[in-house]
Structure 1
Amino acid sequence: MADLFDPTPGDPPPASTAPRPLADRLRPTRLAEVIGQAKVIGPDGPLGVMLASGALSSLVFWGPPGVGKTTIARLLADETDLHFVQISAIFSVVAELLKVFEAAKQRRRAGQGTLLFVDEIHRFNKAQQDSFLPHMEDGTILLVGATTENPSFELNAALLSRAQVLVLERLSAEELEQLAQRAETEIGRPLPLAPDARRALLEMADGDGRALLNLVEQVAAWRAEGDLDTEALRTRLMRRAAQYDKSGDGHYNLISALHKSVRGSDPDAALYWFARMLEAGEDPRYLARRITRMAVEDIGLADPEAQRICLEGWQTYERLGSPEGELALAQALVYLALAPKSNAAYVGYKAARRAAKSTGSLMPPKHILNAPTGLMKDQGYGAGYAYDHDAEDGFSGQDYFPEDMDRAEYYVPVERGFERELKKRADYFARLRKERIG
């Protein structure tokens, strides 16, 4: 995907009389003109320090669309006297890569370096990513990749070890306002928008500078008598869909925010992230499953009702469907956020799984094994078993762990919610066990 102020690769220069899109007319000519990303390109940012020291390394720009990845790469080439070459991983094939590398070698022999900008670099497979490595190592190319996906998951470790990952952030409201003002200067007149409509326009851009300039260009072309209010603006413009990929990084970021809001006992934040995912088109059934997981992972036996409420909310959704069924899920979510929290059973379960793996095939103690045959009785199966119902308090205190394994404690209830009562019971049986078996 092209980025902010990015021309279509391979297009000839526009004729002087041809109309130019606003984004093209406002393309920065120096890094200092780029709006946003001060943490990266500022004097103390990693790029600013690299340029000041004259030691620019291969880079991977990670960030959402429309934040300047292509623009910054192009300006880096200009400021370092490198030949700029741009390819897209969506359209490029191995044959094209070989041509790019060969041309870069010829430039190097002629005394000029090459900055190779690869858009959507995460779409290259492992073999294609590996093909960059020798040319990066011998200095044939300085690679600058751009990706909207998490490089840790999408790029090879070998490539990441040879490049520095720089995170570019979505533009803030203040930065979008700066961009809008720059656009108005270029157009030669202010946008016909009331203050509330102007704020709504910036919100529609959702941190994407290129999207904002496209919106500005549309609004500037309107023939409006007086300033338009928010309602008029929304009538004339479709709201831009939030950036969200159900299988990508945005999906996992939002579900993580939802889960941690519930764990942090914040129903308002939980409802917000729940709504964000629904607005982005997430499947409510996926959310129902994740909400139920929260009940068993983060609330557990501190409130045994939590799991039931989640399952009933899920069932209600299945019967009502959308949009009414989402309310049942929202109610379950609020209940979880306000419920007492405990992961004691979850922690105990994981500890028991680790112990099960490490202890291998240890047999249960013979006294708790059934002995349906004479041979098994001769082997001591069932000998000495104490029937708990016949014991004082219905508790024998016998050891049920393998004979060659020390007794372990996995479940440690907390002093919250219903688990407070379970802790009393666990402590009671532990005391009896100590009294009866020493």
Structure 2
Amino acid sequence: MADLFAQAGMEAGAPRPLADRLRPRRLDEVVGQEHLTGPDGILTRMSESRSIGSLIFWGPPGTGKTTVARLLARETDLHFEQVSAIFSGVADLKKVFEAARGRRAVGTGTLLFVDEIHRFNRAQQDSFLPVMEDGTITVIGATTENPSFELNAALLSRARVLVFKPLDAAAMERLLARAEELEERRLPLEPEARSALAGMADGDGRYLLGMAEELFRLPPDRDLDVAGLAATMQKRAPIYDKGQDEHYNLLSCFHKSLRGSDVNAAMYWAARMLSGGEDPGTIFRRLCCAASEDVGMADPQAMPQVVSAWTAFDRVGWPEGRLFLAQAIAYVATAPKSNAAYSAFNAALALAQKTGSLQPPKHILNAPTKLMKELGYHAGYLYDHDFPDAYAGQTFFPDELAGDRRADFYAPNERGFEREVKKRLDYWAKLRAERRGR
């Protein structure tokens, strides 16, 4: 029915999403996949030769897989047909194959794009083989999952796997610039918020344009900063019930007393909460948080001590169980303090959210299949136990972050056990520099 409306020109004035209006019309307009669509890319060469074979597009959402398939069909004069493995079964596929045979009889080939092809079961995947072999259809399957594990070997042997990459920052910026050109106005964002918007999209161009479309609906009276962007793009539920202010106030007093190494105040606030009918489990949970956030690696035994005391409390119960609670409070409050691990992980989360889904270096990826070996997985990996001190000094960060000082998250201090951890890290840094020839 939609096709009939389109043929009649009735869709011309209908609203269309920004991502659809910005859909590339030529292969060289596709952003972020220059290794495939650039001047020397394999898809460019296929398009120029006007001959393509069956392909599997492997990559995350919003990277142009569907768009590229449509463009290849147009540029090679093939009829484009699309099915989704989520909504289609064998009966639907048979109808598609029969229609393709009819077109072939009059000299027109068919490119069948199969979205989420990994969701088809083995029998459904096998049904493609005869029509692929006799040339009835050219299949392009799109998958977000590893084809080595999700697709039949027989299907893989008849199709070439091409890897689509998450869109990087430069590709995201090109999309935003195109959107602004189309809308004839700029996005109401400060520079840092513009970068944050790209980070929120996490390599997904379609999602980026969806968020941009929401921003274009805002009145252009002021530019949003990062905080304003976050408030606009997501609704945050209140953290606490306002009817229980006293409950959370006392928990805060208890936790800050633990952090401040005031064992007497910590016991007082715990007693206040218990006297008010607080569940002892709530106090143990806060003790666990303090043992990790505020003691951390300065005394790694703090967490086991709290968990052991909590387990004993659950087994023995009240009133004797208060002995275990008191011991746990005393241990955490008097332990040496370090929030280095906590701060390091917060920094890691912030960098991960900002940089998106950067690809890991191939040398630390396993290669259980022939395809993965051909793609360079595991090549060059150094087994640490083959080296003195069981340390090879190899990098494990994505290439884009290797050597980036922003990734130096963990900075242990000189308190408690963390002093020994710092010695280890310094020693490994020395070995790493020596083994990398620095």
Please, what TM-score do these two structures have when normalized by structure 2?
A: 0.54
2:37 is matched by which residue type in structure 1? I
Q: CA deviation at 1:202?
A: 1.0
Residues in 2 aligned to 1:156 and 1:135: alpha-carbon distance in whole angstroms: 16
Q: Which residue of 2 aligns with 1:168?
A: 164
Q: CA deviation at 1:226?
A: 2.1
Q: Which residue of 2 aligns with 1:27?
A: 23
Q: Which residue of 1 aligns with 2:389?
A: 416
Q: Which residue of 2 aligns with 1:79?
A: 75
Q: Which residue of 1 aligns with 2:66?
A: 70
Identical counterparts, % of pairs = 57
Residues in 1 aligned to 2:38 and 2:125: alpha-carbon distance in whole angstroms: 30
Which residues of 2 match residues 327-338 of structure 1 at below 5 A? none
Query: Is the alpha carbon distance of 1:185 and 1:313 closer, same or farther for their aligned partners in structure 2, counting shifts above 3 Å?
Result: farther
Q: Which residue of 1 aligns with 2:205?
A: 209
Please, what TM-score do these two structures have when normalized by structure 1?
A: 0.54
CA deviations 1:38-88 (Å, max 9, x no partner) are: 001222222122223343110000000000000000000000000000000
1:94 is matched by which residue type in structure 2? V
Q: Tell me whether 1:227 sits opposite 2:223 in the alignment.
A: yes
Secondary structure at 1:64's aligned position in 2?
Answer: coil
Residues in 2 aligned to 1:9 and 1:222: alpha-carbon distance in whole angstroms: 31
Q: Which residue of 2 aligns with 1:185?
A: 181
2:106 is matched by which residue type in structure 1? A
Equivalent position to 2:194, from 191, 194, 198? 198
Query: Is the alpha carbon distance of 1:46 and 1:413 closer, same or farther for their aligned partners in structure 2, counting shifts above 3 Å?
Result: closer
Contact 1:9 1:87 survives alignment (8 Å)? no
Q: Tell me whether 1:110 sits opposite 2:110 in the alignment.
A: no
Equivalent position to 1:146, from 138, 142, 146? 142
Q: CA deviation at 1:311?
A: 10
Equivalent position to 1:58, from 43, 54, 57? 54
Contact 2:112 2:138 survives alignment (8 Å)? yes
Which residues of 2 match residues 184-333 of structure 1 at below 5 A? 184-238=180-234, 312=304
CA deviations 1:96-140 (Å, max 9, x no partner) are: 110000000000001000000000000000000000001000000
Residues in 1 aligned to 2:157 and 2:56: alpha-carbon distance in whole angstroms: 11
Which residues of 2 match residues 377-416 of structure 1 at below 5 A? 416=389
**Structure ID, larger Rg:** 1
Residues in 2 aligned to 1:211 and 1:11: alpha-carbon distance in whole angstroms: 29
Residues in 2 aligned to 1:314 and 1:110: alpha-carbon distance in whole angstroms: 77
Residues in 2 aligned to 1:103 and 1:69: alpha-carbon distance in whole angstroms: 24
Give 5+ residue unaligned stretches, structure 1.
1-7, 241-307, 320-326, 335-411, 418-438
Query: Is the alpha carbon distance of 1:212 and 1:415 closer, same or farther for their aligned partners in structure 2, counting shifts above 3 Å?
Result: closer
Residues in 1 aligned to 2:101 and 2:50: alpha-carbon distance in whole angstroms: 22
2:167 is matched by which residue type in structure 1? L
1:29 is matched by which residue type in structure 2? R
Contact 2:101 2:136 survives alignment (8 Å)? yes
CA deviations 1:296-326 (Å, max 9, x no partner) are: xxxxxxxxxxxx979949958997xxxxxxx
Which residues of 2 match residues 122-141 of structure 1 at below 5 A? 122-141=118-137
Residues in 1 aligned to 2:146 and 2:181: alpha-carbon distance in whole angstroms: 36
1:189 is matched by which residue type in structure 2? R
Query: Is the alpha carbon distance of 1:29 and 1:48 closer, same or farther for their aligned partners in structure 2, counting shifts above 3 Å?
Result: same
Residues in 1 aligned to 2:27 and 2:208: alpha-carbon distance in whole angstroms: 20
Q: Which residue of 2 aligns with 1:302?
A: none
Contact 1:204 1:239 survives alignment (8 Å)? no
Q: CA deviation at 1:192?
A: 1.1
CA deviations 1:374-431 (Å, max 9, x no partner) are: xxxxxxxxxxxxxxxxxxxxxxxxxxxxxxxxxxxxxx998639xxxxxxxxxxxxxx
2:19 is matched by which residue type in structure 1? A
Cα root mean square deviation, aligned: 3.4
Q: Which residue of 2 aligns with 1:48?
A: 44
Query: Is the alpha carbon distance of 1:309 and 1:80 closer, same or farther for their aligned partners in structure 2, counting shifts above 3 Å?
Result: farther
Equivalent position to 1:89, from 85, 90, 96? 85
Secondary structure at 1:184's aligned position in 2?
Answer: helix
- The alignment of Structure 1 onto Structure 2 pairs a total of residues equal to 259
Q: CA deviation at 1:9?
A: 8.9
Query: Is the alpha carbon distance of 1:127 and 1:224 closer, same or farther for their aligned partners in structure 2, counting shifts above 3 Å?
Result: same
Query: Is the alpha carbon distance of 1:79 and 1:415 closer, same or farther for their aligned partners in structure 2, counting shifts above 3 Å?
Result: closer
Which residues of 2 match residues 3-14 of structure 1 at below 5 A? 12-13=5-6
